[in-house]
């Protein structure tokens, strides 16, 4: 056994470059598969889970996806406005438990500044069963805003901008670089405990403060005085439950009636997001095909590497046969070498794949506030181990059979 292992390691050293390339090619395919599987599953799970806290979004006519991205993920601009009077009409529907209006379109240092009513923080869950908290024990601080010149910051926004209780800022009228800055000075009175959602990357001011910000002009200022002229970007809707947490069935009628009107539309985040995943699903397919193609090329490269090494090791193989090693030991030697190369590629690929996920998680969290985990292990990853072992075994069969047939006399006289 020791002799066989020595021969295997000797072969790996002699063919260091080709063996390293085989390991690298296997690692690349495994890394791609690991990263794609992990990111796809976490994307679908995390983004959909965030939408569970909001039953519906009342928004202007336009793209439902744009409304969800703007209202729930803070990564799009609003497609328009809706009338305050229509919002109040929807709010008065018997099946609506809570309706909280909001205005978007402002920012500060690259973070969205949204105007909203205080009820949002007490009436909505950012995830099922989890409410917003300002408790120090949860990682938060301070309290919800009460006056027009007060604001609360999400955990990540406060961390990135070094905002503390009492810090002040001037909101920007827009979300792009170079947009005008309001003269109004807003003071931070609260920092939300981390939620692992886009809310961590937002700053919230009172809705009534939005209409009184300097520089908005008389038309917007008039909205603060007369509801007849008031407009909002949308409203978060929470539907009443009937029993066992089941949403009131009348939500479909409400959605139909709103969508049939000329004033607004009712968007359900968890209906829109699956359609988004279906649209971009082809990206996963393309990456899987590329990874599979690399895996096939890796197997062929490993096959040629093993086949070439057998021709150069005829003397060594004949020698161990002369010393009494059975033919099955020769088979095991070739298969063992194939398994060593493949398992090295597998381990390197898994490490590289999760490193890619880690880098992607940092970027996604910075852009959206959604938390991904580099340590997330998909059940599908466990299938990679038997798959790699099977490929390594099948790839080594022909070279192993060639080694099996080597004649002792001819092999000892062979000069490599």
pLDDT tens column, 272-325: 877 777 766 677 778 778 888 888 888 888 777 777 666 666 666 666 666 666
Work out the number of other CB atoms within 10 angstroms of the CB of residue 382: 10
Rounded to two decimals, the pTM is 0.76
Rounded to the nearest angstrom, the gap between the alpha carbon of residue 309 and the centroid of all alpha carbons in its chain is 43
Phi and psi based region of residue 190 (left: phi greater than 0; alpha: psi -120 to 50; beta: remaining) = beta
CA distance 192 to 313: 67
Q: Are strands 186-191 and 150-153 parallel, antiparallel or unpaired?
A: parallel
Question: 47-51, 62-66, 269-273, 285-289: lowest mean pLDDT where?
Answer: 47-51
Nearest-CA neighbor of 323 among 390, 412, 250?
412
First to last CA, the chain: 23
Nearest to 397 by CA among 318, 342, 338, 311: 338
pLDDT at 242: 82
Mean pLDDT of the chain: 83
Enter the tokens of residue 265: 């539309």
Compute the half-sphere exposure of residue 366: CA atoms within 13 Å on the CB side of its CA.
9
Length of the chain: 416
H runs (alpha helix) in 261-377? 269-279, 281-312, 314-322, 327-368
Cα angle: 402, vertex 405, 411; to 5 degrees = 95
CA dist., res. 401 & res. 311, Å (int): 12
| C-alpha span between 373 and 46 (Å, rounded) | 10
382: confidence class by pLDDT, cuts 50, 70, 90: confident
Q: What is the pLDDT of residue 14?
A: 64
């Amino acid at each position: 056994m020791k002799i066989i292992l020595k021969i295997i390691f000797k072969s790996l050293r002699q063919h260091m470059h080709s063996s390293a390339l085989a390991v690298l090619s296997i690692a690349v395919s495994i890394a791609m598969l690991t990263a794609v599987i992990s990111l796809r599953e976490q994307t679908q799970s995390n983004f959909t889970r965030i939408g569970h806290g909001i039953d519906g979004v009342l928004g202007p006519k336009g793209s439902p996806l744009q409304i969800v991205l703007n209202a729930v993920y803070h990564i799009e601009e609003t497609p328009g406005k809706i009338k305050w009077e229509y919002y109040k009409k929807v709010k008065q529907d018997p099946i609506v438990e809570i309706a909280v209006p909001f205005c978007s379109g402002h920012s500060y240092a690259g973070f969205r500044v949204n105007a909203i009513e205080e009820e949002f923080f007490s009436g909505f869950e950012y995830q099922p069963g989890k409410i917003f908290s300002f408790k120090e024990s949860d990682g938060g601080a301070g309290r919800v805003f009460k006056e027009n010149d007060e604001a609360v910051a999400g955990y990540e926004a406060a961390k990135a901008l070094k905002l503390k209780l009492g810090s002040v800022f001037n909101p920007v009228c827009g979300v792009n670089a170079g947009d005008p800055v309001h003269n109004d000075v807003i003071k931070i009175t609260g920092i939300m405990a981390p939620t692992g959602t886009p809310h961590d990357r937002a700053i919230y001011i009172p809705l009534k403060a939005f209409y009184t910000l300097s520089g908005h002009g008389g038309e917007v200022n008039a909205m603060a005085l007369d509801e007849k002229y008031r407009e909002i970007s949308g409203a978060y809707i929470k539907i009443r439950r009937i029993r066992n947490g089941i949403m009131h069935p009348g939500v479909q009628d409400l959605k139909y009636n709103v969508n049939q009107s000329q004033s607004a539309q009712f968007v359900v985040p968890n209906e829109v997001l699956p359609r988004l995943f279906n649209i971009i699903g082809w990206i996963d397919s393309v990456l899987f095909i590329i990874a599979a193609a690399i895996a096939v090329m890796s197997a062929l490269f490993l096959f040629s590497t093993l086949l070439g090494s057998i021709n150069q090791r005829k003397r060594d193989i004949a020698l161990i046969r002369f010393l009494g090693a059975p033919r099955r030991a020769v088979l095991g030697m070739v298969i063992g070498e194939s398994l060593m190369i493949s398992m090295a590629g597998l381990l390197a690929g898994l490490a590289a794949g999760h490193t890619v996920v880690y880098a992607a998680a940092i970027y996604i969290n910075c852009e959206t506030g959604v938390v991904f985990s580099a340590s997330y292990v998909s059940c599908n990853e466990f299938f990679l181990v038997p798959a790699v072992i099977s490929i390594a075994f099948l790839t080594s069969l022909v070279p192993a059979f060639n080694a099996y047939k080597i004649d002792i006399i001819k092999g000892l006289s062979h000069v490599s």
